[in-house]
Amino acid sequence: MKSKEKTSRAFALDALRGIAIIGMILSGSIPHGGLLPNWMYHAQVPPPNHIFNPNLPGITWVDLVFPFFLFAMGAAFPLALNGKLEKGIVKWKLSLHSIQRGLLLAVFAIYIQHIKPWSINSNPTTLTWIISIVGFLLLFPMLLRLSDSYSNSFKRIVKIGGYVGGILILVIFELINEKGFSLYRSDIIILVLANVAVFGSIIWLYTKDNLLLRLGILGIILALRLSHSADGSFTQIIWDFSPFPWLYKLYYMQYLFIVIPGTVIGDLIHKWKKESKSEYSQNTIYKPYISVLLLFGFIVVNLYGLFTRSVNVTLILNVILVLSGLQLFKGSTTATDKLYNSLFKWGVYWLILGFFFEAFEGGIKKDHPTLSYYFVTAGLAIYCYMFFSIIIDYLGKGKFVNSIIENGQNPMIAYIAGHTLITPVLALTNLNSLLNYLAINPLLGFLKGVIFTSFVIMFTSYCTKRKLFWRT
């Protein structure tokens, strides 16, 4: 097989982030009411009534999208911050930048929750749709990174104009919505991202050369997670302390159980990318295809087995897959072989660790998240990254997942465009009525969600190709 040199950018990481974002959009756009089977929804919110049941164990593909995004964010820290450190930027300045970025994400979380149509009006009108679209468009001057061909003063005027417009939108919200503006009304997914982005990046900065210390911090968070319920304990005081509950809760730090494993993988990817010439070994032509099937098999086996509660059988199948993978990825003739070997073994560790916690807390659950959920999804995220890496970097088939990559490179646009642009446009043009006709049986109901998601994918891909990136 002809060797291929690695790409200059970690496109597989973009693809992992992209598939997570696309999964979020699709899962939020498929119809409710019993049209589709249970595994098409969050395991704890099953059809037909979709009533939250925290005692229902199991996970579905919908429960993977958020942890995959968190993992990709953690893996990106070493790639982004190492470059800045190499330019001579000191750690304390990078820490301040991380805090600034986290605050901006928190503002973004509050703002987008207030411009979603159903937040403005539970029965949206034409005015509601227009306000939502305008609120979305104002995010471009707020967050768009303009090229250096524009003067700094022009960039400043554009950004200020965007924020002034955004404030006016929130004033209008205050006037027309009986509940009014509230700091406590925010997009919880983005707010969690804001918290772990700050703490995850700072933890990585000060442990970049000390993996044991980084894992030790994870152990302290684990201890807080297990002991905070003890009445009167100092761990309970630490857990409950929050000077700004609308902005920060230690509860959110649990998601570092996914982000910190991501940073470990990011370190490995960064080391691989620094090699002057890392080529793929001349293995049999069948090996990469077998590897792709094996990695995809991990995801399918664990989703099916944990959802159907065939835990013991799933564990046995995991052992078989692990032994097969260790044989498949053994050997270290090139830097890329070493990378895949290390990635696979880390995936084994987090996955098996998650299985040892599976019986704890009543079985694996996304809501309320169990320790098993964090670690199992971290392991599966590694295998999903490897899946895309082999397809894109090894086989050179990136064109087949190009739209996924483009959405992963522009995740904030993809995340909010469906609610505040595509939905209002469909409503104003009455195209939503045509789509609603599809929700008459399971297959067509799913097709409706696919069509809606495709609109978001195409819009985000267009923005990416036009280099219209939102930077938070």
Per residue in 16-70, pLDDT tens? 999 999 999 999 988 887 778 899 999 999 988 889 999 999 999 999 999 999 9
What's the confidence (pLDDT) of residue 5?
A: 44
The angle subtended at Cα 71 by Cα 65 and Cα 73, nearest 5°, is 105
What's the confidence (pLDDT) of residue 331?
A: 76
472 occurs within a structural domain: no
Whole-angstrom CA distances from 400 to 4, 335, 384, 388 are: 17, 25, 16, 11
| Residue 411 CB neighbour total at 10 angstroms | 24
Give how many domains the chain has, as a whole number.
Answer: 1
pTM of the model: 0.93
Contact by Cβ (8 Å): 336, 392: no
| Percent share of the chain, pLDDT over 90 | 78
Contact by Cβ (8 Å): 189, 28: no
In tens, the pLDDT along 131-163 reads: 999 999 999 999 998 888 888 899 899 999 999
Average pLDDT (187-198) is 96
d(CA 93, CA 114): 32
Amino acid found at 298: F
4 occurs within a structural domain: no
21 occurs within a structural domain: yes
Lowest mean pLDDT among 165-169, 246-250, 403-407, 444-448: 444-448
**Residue 58, SS3?**
coil
Lowest mean pLDDT among 92-106, 171-185, 270-284, 398-412: 270-284
301 occurs within a structural domain: yes
**Residue 5, SS3?**
strand
For residues 362, 375, 15, 298, the Cα torsion angle rounded to the nearest 10 degrees is -80
What's the confidence (pLDDT) of residue 179?
A: 85
186 occurs within a structural domain: yes
d(CA 370, CA 92): 34
3 occurs within a structural domain: no
In tens, the pLDDT along 273-317 reads: 887 455 655 556 678 899 999 999 999 999 999 999 999 999 999
340 occurs within a structural domain: yes
Give the pair of three-digit tokens for residue 392. Answer: 């894109």
Question: How far does the chain reach from its first CA to its final CA, in angstroms?
Answer: 41
What's the confidence (pLDDT) of residue 370?
A: 97
470 occurs within a structural domain: no
Average pLDDT over the chain reads 92
- Residue 2's pLDDT band (boundaries 50, 70, 90)? very low
Lowest mean pLDDT among 237-241, 282-286, 459-463: 282-286
d(CA 328, CA 267): 23
d(CA 318, CA 324): 10
DSSP codes of every residue in 423-448? HHHHHHTTHHHHHHTTTTSHHHHHHH
Burial of 135 (C-beta count, 10 Å sphere; 0-12/13-18/19+): buried
> Is it the case that residue 192 has pLDDT exceeding 70?
yes
Residue numbers of the domain that contains 95 = 11-465
> Is it the case that residue 272 has pLDDT exceeding 60?
yes
- Residue 3's pLDDT band (boundaries 50, 70, 90)? very low
